[in-house]
C-alpha cells in the first residue's frame, strides 16, 4: 500500500526546510503540536512529519509503495509512541488511537501521487514534484 516516507528531495525549496531524517523511513504526523504555532513558526512542528523509528523530523516526504498492511502500520505507530514516551500521554486508549492514526495516514497517502514529493503545510500537503525513477526502483525493492 501507499505510505509516506522521509526524503531529502526538494529540501531547501523553502528556506525553513529541515530534515534530520533517514531517507526512506516511514513517517507520521507528530503526536503534539504547539498551541498557536504558525506553519512557518520557529518550532517547525506544523510543517514537520515524524519518523516512526528514529523519531527525527522532516519537512519533506515522498509517497512510496511498501509491503505493509494497515494493521502492520498501526503496530509500527504504537511501537513508535511507546519508544518515544508518548504512550503514557496517549493513555489506555492507545490501540484505538494508533488505529485511527494509521487510517488517517493511509487516507492521506491514498490522495497523493505515487513517488510524489511533498512538503507538509499544517493540515495540507504541498506537492513539490515527482521523485526520480532511481528512487522509484528503490521503493519497489528493485536492485540497482
Q: Taking CB under 5 A as the rule, does residue 40 contact Zn ion?
A: no
**Residue 113 near residue 62 (C-beta atoms within 8 A):** no
Q: Taking CB under 5 A as the rule, does residue 111 contact Zn ion?
A: no
Neighbouring residues of 64: CB distance < 8 A, sequence distance ≥ 6: 2, 3, 4, 5, 24, 114, 115, 139
CA pair distance 116, 100, nearest whole angstrom: 24
Q: Taking CB under 5 A as the rule, does residue 137 contact Zn ion?
A: no
- Nearest 5°: the CA angle 107, 112, 114 is 115
Task: Give the SS3 label for residue 76.
Answer: helix
Binds Zn ion by CB under 5 A, chosen from 21, 31, 45, 48: 45
Q: Taking CB under 5 A as the rule, does residue 43 contact Zn ion?
A: yes
Binds Zn ion by CB under 5 A, chosen from 20, 34, 70, 127: 34
Minimal distance, residue 16 CB to Zn ion, in Å: 13
Measuring CA to CA, how many Å separate 105 from each of 35, 42, 61, 102, 133?
Answer: 22, 25, 12, 5, 24
Minimal distance, residue 40 CB to Zn ion, in Å: 12
Of 22-30, 38-46, 94-102, 121-129, which part binds Zn ion (CB under 5 A)? 38-46
* Of 31 and 106, CB closest to Zn ion: 31
18's grid cell: 529541515
Minimal distance, residue 48 CB to Zn ion, in Å: 8
* Of 55 and 113, CB closest to Zn ion: 55
Q: Which residues bind Zn ion (CB under 5 A)?
A: 34, 37, 43, 45
Amino acid at each position: 500500500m501507499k505510505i509516506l516516507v522521509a526524503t531529502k528531495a526538494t529540501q531547501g525549496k523553502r528556506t525553513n526546510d529541515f530534515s534530520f531524517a533517514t531517507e526512506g523511513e516511514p513517517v507520521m504526523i507528530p503526536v503534539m503540536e504547539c498551541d498557536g504555532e504558525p506553519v512557518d513558526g520557529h518550532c517547525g512542528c506544523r510543517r514537520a512529519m515524524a519518523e516512526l523509528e528514529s523519531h527525527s523530523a522532516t519537512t519533506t516526504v515522498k509517497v512510496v509503495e511498501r509491503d505493509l498492511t494497515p494493521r502492520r502500520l498501526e503496530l509500527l505507530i504504537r511501537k513508535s509512541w511507546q519508544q518515544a514516551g508518548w504512550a503514557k500521554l496517549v493513555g489506555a486508549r492507545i490501540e484505538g488511537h494508533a488505529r485511527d492514526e494509521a487510517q488517517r495516514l493511509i487516507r492521506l497517502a491514498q490522495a497523493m501521487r505515487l513517488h510524489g514529493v511533498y512538503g507538509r503545510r499544517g493540515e495540507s500537503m504541498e506537492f513539490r514534484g515527482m521523485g526520480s525513477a532511481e528512487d522509484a526502483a528503490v521503493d519497489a525493492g528493485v536492485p540497482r
